[in-house]
Amino acid sequence: MNDIETIVKTLQKSKRILFVTGAGMSADSGIPTYRGVGGLYNNDKLLEGKTIEEIMSGEMIRSNPRLVWECLQKNSAFFGEALPNRGHEIIAEMEKYFTVCVCTQNVDGFHSIAGSTNVIELHGTMRVLRCMNCDYRSNVIDIANLSIPPKCEKCKKIMRPDVVFFNEMLCYKKMSAFGEEMACGFDMVFVIGTSSRFVYIVSPIYKLYEQQAFITEINPEVTDVSDLANVHLKSGASKSLQDIWEAYLHKIV
């Protein structure tokens, strides 16, 4: 029995499935897998002599929002043109057969756009702007053409992306929602395209490992959770998910 067959056999016995996704999930959509929030910017690029960590920080968005927005626009010209890939679509389709939770580090919004209904965006989303004064929120399709810094239509103060910058805390409500999902348990977990370096990613996966959930890692690289995986597919997200899904549908026909 090969790895795909092993995964499919386990799927046939499963009800609740968790997907933990990182930047590699959106690689086939043309979103670069750079280090940083959801792959939106490259750690090696500098603006005004500052590192990305300095610019994309909670301190900088408060003290110099124009610089932050200039950097975002410079490094996310691809954002408005990119679309969800087949991998995102397959995860959404799986809701017809399973109870699915998606916990993503990505800020591109592709899981929801593809049709997934239970998505926890741990790092927020670039599809929403939030007022730094009154907390008013508005949707945005493409940040490339925004006047910078964008102003709130309610109070005229500065808007920011509704994402977690460096040195900012994760959203308590989102972490609580993830905790509630974890409390219900999962039969399977797919860890896709994430380096799994953060404790809030590693810890839940380790907990599921202890609970004997079946863990599939999809990542060309070895990560901090690779040793916990029952199966490690060292290929791209879309191809691996397509292979799994085709094999599963063939079995249940």
Catalytic residue set: 123
134 is in an annotated binding site: yes
Tokens 């292979």: give the residue: 243
- Phi, psi at residue 187, to the nearest 5°? -80, -35
Measured CA to CA, the distance from residue 187 to residue 16 in angstroms comes to: 5
**Is the distance from CB of 130 to CB of 160 less than 8 angstroms?**
yes
Measured CA to CA, the distance from residue 32 to residue 74 in angstroms comes to: 14
Measured CA to CA, the distance from residue 66 to residue 60 in angstroms comes to: 9
**Is the distance from CB of 195 to CB of 224 less than 8 angstroms?**
yes
Measured CA to CA, the distance from residue 228 to residue 225 in angstroms comes to: 5
152 is in an annotated binding site: yes
H-type helices in the chain, by residue range?
A: 3-11, 52-55, 58-63, 65-75, 86-93, 110-114, 172-184, 199-210, 237-252
Measured CA to CA, the distance from residue 28 to residue 206 in angstroms comes to: 28
155 is in an annotated binding site: yes
Which amino acids are annotated as binding site for Zn(2+), given as ranges?
131, 134, 152, 155
Which amino acids are annotated as binding site, given as ranges?
131, 134, 152, 155
